[in-house]
Structures are given as structure tokens and as C-alpha cells.
Amino acid sequence: MDTLVAQLQRQFRDYTISLYHQLFWYVKGFLDDQFTELKKLQDECSPDFVAEVVSLFFEDCEKLIGNMARALDQTGNVDFSLVGSSVHQLKGSSSSVGAKRVKGLCVTFKECCDSQNFEGCVRCLQQVDIEYKSLKAKLQDLFNLEQQIVQAGGRIPQVDI
Amino acid sequence: MAVGEVMRMEVPTGGDLTVSSPDLHVLAVDDSIVDRKVIERLLRISSCKVTTVESGTRALQYLGLDGNTGASDLKDLKVNLIVTDYSMPGLTGYDLLKKIKESSTFREIPVVIMSSENILTRIEQCLKEGAEDFLLKPVKLADVKRIKQLIMRNEAEDHKTLSHSNKRKLGEDVDASPSSSSSSSSHDDSSVKDFPSSKRMKSESDIFSPFI
């Protein structure tokens, strides 16, 4: 019979892998290896480093998406370079935390800005908003699993992707 | 205080001078709060002291290059390496690099540029201007370790070359004995100092011409 810890650890492993990997060709992984790089920087001295960085990232998302929405709201007078510069910043920070899907969306979004495609920009903005919130929820689930493991007396497994 | 003194020995609270592993003090410049957090951690975990600032302007203020007394004028806070993002609003990383290399006080501090964009002309432009290296974002631990090794190695070489060149060129009043690695601190005259590694990017002839 599986102990609670073993069950949780297995759940954690499976969930982590699912966040990185493509299940179908059109479903991109949520995370890339930059997320793994961030985990390397976490240790006993800095046990919440990853959670802190992603938290800053999600705050950044909110702020930048707000900027983009405001710029796109100026009907008839949209400053696409302004939207573009916010997209560039979002692309940068998503890249730094390993938020693969958000980063990918930013590439498309930037193209829409460069070609001043208003509808395209609005669609991209909606998708980016959905995507970062989705990632936020998933990472929260992952962090919760970690907590449960620790509380049950177990160690957080190292998952090799 | 030595002009452009790059390598310092850290004196621990016990007061004994530790020669084994001096800490690099790195000034990290990035407008992204996420990237600042990451680069700070990367550097700390690589045993560097870190100061982060959010813009090129702030970096110049910190160094005291804006005309005022900077925080880094205090001996304890001497900067050994500057790592800066390329694309920043206002002063870009390239602008910052230029200002540092134009300064007689700070031109010897190695500058590393970071960018999310792999543009060859941009890289060449930075290296030509005297950048030590160019890192592609997202920056990883291996990148930081490599840079640190490069900087430490260059500084060790500079100190060796310095004592040799002082022996050759001056012959007088110079404590060029191998045990004294602080020989550079007794000289304010930067014209006899050997150039740091960033100058390796420049031509051979430049290396042997004096500072103007």
C-alpha cells in the first residue's frame, strides 16, 4: 500500500512533467528549461526563490497587460509601438521564468503590433491574459503539492525532464 | 584610493586579510524587475556581492559618473564588474557601456551586456566598444559562472603583468614583489597601469600606448 507521501510525490512528478511536455502537437508545454534553471537557484538559504520570481512575473503580466489594454483602447489613435514595447517586456520576463506559452504568444503579438493589425492585437491580448492566469493557477497547484509533501513529512522529488 | 582599482581583498569582520577568495562586487542594471531578481540570485549564488539598479541613469549615479559623489566611492562598495541589459528605456546598455569606457576612472571595470536578441551587429558593436562579453537572455547559472571565471582570471593576469611592467618601465619606487598584490593601490598614475582584458578587443598597438 502506497504511503501518502509516495502518492503525493508521484502526483508531483506527473504534474511537473505534464507542465513541460507536449501532450499533442498542438498543445505546447507550459514550461521550458528556464524554469528548471530557476529551480537550480533555490536552496535552503533561498527556499522560496522560484515562488517569489513567478509571483513578480505574474504581477508584471498584470501591469503590462493593463498597459496594452489601455493603449489598444484609444480607438482610432492606437499607439502600436507602445503596445509593442509592452509586448517586448512581457516576452523578456516570460522568457526569464520559463513561461513557454506566454513567450510564444508574445512572438505572435509582436508581429501584430509591427503590422499594426488591431484585431490581431486584441486577440493576442485576450490569449495572453488567459494564458498567464492559467499558468498562475497551475503553478499554484504545483506549489500546493510541494507543501503537502513537506507537511506529510516527505521530500520534494527532483524531476528530470 | 587607487584610480580604477579593480581587485580588492575583502576584509572579514575578524580583521584578518583573506587572500584566498576576494568577492566580486557586481553592479547589475536591468529595467525588468523579474530579470533583476534572477540576475541578483545568479550572482549571489556564484558568491558575488550584488547591487541592482533599474536604469542606466541610476547606474551612473551609483558610480558617481553623473558629477556627484556616488555610493561606490566608498571603499567597501567598489564595483568590480558591471552587467547590464541592452534594451532599456532612456540610457541603453550600449550608452552606459560607452559612458563607462569614456571615463578615466571607470573604464577599466569590465562590462558585460545581456540581451534577449541575438543580433550579430549588436554584439559586434558592443564588443568593439569594449564590452567584456555578451550574454544571451535568459541568463543561466553556467553563463554567470563562466563570466566570473573570466573576470577573476583576467584580474589575476593583470596583477601579474602589472608587477612585471612596473619592474620594466619604472624600476624605481615600485613594490613589485609577488607577495604584494596591492601594489597598484600605491599608484594613482593610471598611465603606467597595464590595460584590463576588455582592451583585448582593441588592437595590439593600443595596448602599448599610454592613457591620454
Nearest to A53 among B34, B87, B140 (CB): B34
E strand or H helix at B27 = strand B25-29
Task: Return the SS3 of B85.
Answer: strand
Residue B61 vs residues B4, B24, B27, B57, B96: alpha-carbon distances, Å: 17, 20, 12, 6, 11
- Tens digit of each residue's pLDDT (9 = 90 or more) over A97-111: 999 999 999 999 999
- Best of B30, B36, B37 to substitute, by most chain A Cβ atoms within 10 angstroms, is B37
Using the Cβ of B50 and the Cβ atoms of chain A, whether some distance falls under 8 Å is answered with: no
Pick from A52, A96, A98: which is nearest to B35 by CB? A96
- The mean of the pLDDT values for chain A is 92
pLDDT for A19 equals: 86
pLDDT at residue number B137:
96
Residue B202's pLDDT is 43
Report the mean per-residue pLDDT for chain B. Answer: 76
Query: Residue written as cell 583573506?
Result: B18
Between B77 and B10, whose confidence is greater? B77
- A67, A93, A102, best to mutate vs chain B, most B CBs in 10 Å: A93
Residue A75: pLDDT band (50, 70, 90) is confident
pLDDT at residue A17 is higher than 60: yes
The shortest C-alpha distance from B87 to chain A (Å) reads 10
Nearest to A96 among B45, B138, B141 (CB): B138
ipTM score for this prediction: 0.89
**Residue in B31, B42, B116 closest to A41 by CB:** B42
pLDDT band at B193 (very low <50, low <70, confident <90, very high): very low
pLDDT tens-digit series, residues B59-80: 999 998 887 766 666 655 789 9
Q: How far, in Å, are A95, B13, B26, B110 from residue B7 at the CA level? A: 34, 19, 12, 12
CATH architecture assigned to B25-157: 3-Layer(aba) Sandwich (3.40)
Q: Which grid coordinates are listed for A31?
A: 514550461
Report the residue of chain A nearest B115, measured CA to CA.
Answer: A92
Residue B170: per-residue pLDDT: 52
Residue B171 reports pLDDT greater than 60:
no
Residues of A in contact with B32 (CB under 8 A): 60, 89, 92-93, 96
In degrees, rounded to 5, the angle at the alpha carbon of residue A127 between the alpha carbons of residues A77 and A83 is 30
Confidence of residue A56 (pLDDT cuts 50, 70, 90): very high
Q: Show me where the domains of chain B are located.
A: 25-157
